[in-house]
Amino acid sequence: MLNCADLFAGAGGFSLAAQQAGLRVRLAIENDKHAVDTYRKNFCAGSIGPQLFTDDIREINASKAFREVFSDGDQCDLLLGGPPCQGFSTHRLKGSGIDDKRNDLIHTYFDFVRAFSPTAFLMENVPGMLWDRHASALDRFYREGALAGYEIRQPIIVDARDYGLPQRRKRVFILGLRKGLDASDLSWPPAPTHGNEAARRGDPELAPWVNCGAAFFPAASNDQNDVHMTHSAELVEAFRKTPPNGGSRKDSGRVLPCHRTHDGHKDVYGRIDPRLPAPTMTTACINPSKGRFVHPVEHHGITVRQAARIQTFPDDFVFSGGLIASGKQVGNAVPVELGRHLIGHILPLLRRGRAVEKLEQPKTKVDALDKLQTV
């Protein structure tokens, strides 16, 4: 079986995607206490579950982690991870975020690429990381990749809608391949499978975008994540006046002083339209004051379970930590079905890399790993 490791694993969206694609997750690293609890409960109950490291990743010796996790002499085929992206957020103004220390976590990620020597690595982040202001951080990442023996494909921006997910969500994915691996037949990114009406006129084989209506089917009565925010009577009345299925704040007649001078953020307190893909599930996706996160017809924000369904988590996946912490985990996650689609697309390449590795069987790999940590 092919193996993978998941860095900055969060609640485990990428890990679940890898499992669904047929890989065994050997290692996960995460230190947010609520996400750790979620990950442990959903992935680590069995005897062959991943090892979960909960220290700050900057304090973990990558080569020692490799020796511990792969003590059986097996290899890491794929390294996953989405370093925290707040420093790259498109909401950062002007020059803010350039020197955010969290941006350097993409280089910590690469320490593990060097130590684990996977056939491929797949990193996820927000489109803001491609802004000119962050060019030096990205350039360094590519230089380190070349020095470590990897061909890194150009960043791609993927919209989840184009791959059959019920959400308009754009994220950057960067694919790295070990040099010497024959990837001449790899098309990257994979071709979209879905599109809007204009796209389908150009390509009749595309399916229509998937709407998010199924996310609002009733949940099980014992679902601890079927919870939403409690709102004031004034706000509930505003929701009551907001037309169903896509109504906006202005439709409710609720006008705050800030609305008289600034009419931006029109989606705030708006209802989700179940006939369309949902808006991006953010870390505040359960809070109607942060976006279009009001239930299509009911008079409250969406539940954690509804947000998780939009992120294509199955209903038996349970998030820990309470309403706010759970919503944050959902918003931070790689959508499961999108991750599965991307990983599935490169599976033939991973199998090819494993065949090459078996032929070569480098004898000095562990010694080389020790040297990496002392340079």
Q: Active-site positions?
A: 85
Q: Are 316 and 256 in contact (CB under 8 A)?
A: no
Q: Are 215 and 281 in contact (CB under 8 A)?
A: no
Query: Per residue in 7-33, is it b (16+ CB within 10 Å) or e — as a string?
Result: bbbbbbbbbbbbbbbebebbbbbbbbe
Cis before 166? omega within 30: no
Q: What is the DSSP letter of 244?
A: T
Q: Give the position of tokens 């709407």.
A: 211
| Distance from C-alpha of 289 to C-alpha of 247, rounded to nearest angstrom | 15
Q: Are 18 and 42 in contact (CB under 8 A)?
A: no
| Residue 206 CA, distance from chain mean position | 24
Q: Are 326 and 35 in contact (CB under 8 A)?
A: no
| Phi-psi group of 227: left, alpha or beta (phi > 0 → left; psi -120 to 50 → alpha; rest → beta) | beta
Instruction: Find the Cα–Cα–Cα–Cα dihedral 354, 105, 143, 150, rounded to 10°.
Output: 0
Q: Got the DSSP string for 65-120?
A: HHHHHTTTS----EEEE----GGG-TTS-TTTTTT-GGGGHHHHHHHHHHHH--SE
Integer CA distances (angstroms), 6 to 14, 18, 164, 311, in order: 7, 9, 24, 18
